[in-house]
Amino acid sequence: MFTGIIEEVGAVTEAAEGLLRIAAPLILEDAKLGDSIAINGVDLTVTSIEDAQFLANLMPETYRRSNLGELVAGDRVNLERSVRPLDRLSGHLVRGVVEGRGAFRSTREESEAIVVSYDAPAELLNHMIVKGPIAIDGVSLTIIDKDEAGFAVSLVQYTQQHTNLLDRQPGDAVNLETDILARYVDELLTARIDQILDDRLAARGLSAGIERGVD
């Protein structure tokens, strides 16, 4: 589990089929093999540590759902270690399981903040609400606007300076993870509504059978 508060922006030193090697001196100070580290919001396991760099292996599913397959040596990535039981939850609950990809749309300045707009798939937009949380490349942010094709967030100066979100160009892919609580509520309500409809259809079928004298 993660909070979406980025601890360090690391650098990709190797990107090959099935693996990523990241230079990250800060978060490796107390890291050990088997630890979970979110790379651009994707929960990966540390499999090797050497010379202030760590290695993580990637599965085909990770490539399908995230932008990690597009990384090359020199790219900057957002990094966060998994949350500990006594840590403050400064962002929101982030699982590090990316649901899909959005696309960087545009930016505009608003005083000292920068408003960034993204395109997003309809199935992810269904779980987004204005003033609700969203994780973009692992960064916990608040949605300030939403339309039929995407959403917008506002980046304070600290976020501008301590993440890679402004490295993006229009059309670049970003990893998205919506609020897990919204997803649970939607899943439970959908299942409940489906059950109610099935029960009503079954009751109508039984009533029709009784009227026709069917046992």
Segment 91-112, tens digit of pLDDT: 788 889 999 999 999 999 999 9
Q: Which ranges of the chain would DSSP assign to H, the alpha helix?
A: 60-65, 122-125, 157-162, 180-211
111-146 per-position pLDDT tens digit: 999 999 999 999 999 999 999 999 999 999 999 999
Position 91 in a domain: no
Tell me the CA distances in angstroms from 196 to 38, 139, 204, one per residue in order.
40, 38, 12
- pLDDT for 104 equals 98
Q: Are 192 and 175 in the same domain?
A: no
Share of the chain above pLDDT 70, in %: 95
Q: Are 72 and 44 in the same domain?
A: yes
Segments forming the whole domain that contains residue 150: 100-181
CB 152 within 8 A of CB 130: no
pTM for the model stands at 0.84
- Which three-class secondary structure string do you get for 74-90? CCEEEEEECCCCCCCCC
CB 176 within 8 A of CB 102: yes
The pair of three-digit structure tokens given for residue 73, joined into one six-digit string = 């040596």
Position 170 in a domain: yes
CATH code (residue 151): 2.40.30.20
Q: Are 77 and 55 in the same domain?
A: yes
